[in-house]
Amino acid sequence: MNIHITIVPLVSLLAGILILVMPRLLSFIIAIYLIAVGLIGLFGLGSLRLH
């Protein structure tokens, strides 16, 4: 059985957990998430898969 995990859902899950734990970090976490998604889109790392 192979499990394919992409990076964007992991980043969003981590961001969601951090927002629940520390709501004051909301804008900081959103900024980091948007930068990460933008870099992934620009450099084509969306096909990066962890096995």
What pLDDT was estimated at residue 24?
83
Which residues have CB under 8 Å from 7's CB, separation 6+? 40, 45, 46, 48, 50
Report pLDDT for 25: 80
How confident is the model at residue 42, as a pLDDT? Answer: 83
Work out the pLDDT band at 6, boundaries 50, 70, 90: confident
pLDDT tens track for 14-49:
878 888 888 888 888 888 878 877 887 788 765 555
Q: Which domain, by its residues, includes 33?
A: 5-50
Q: How many structural domains compose the chain? A: 1
- Is the pTM for the entire model greater than 0.75? no
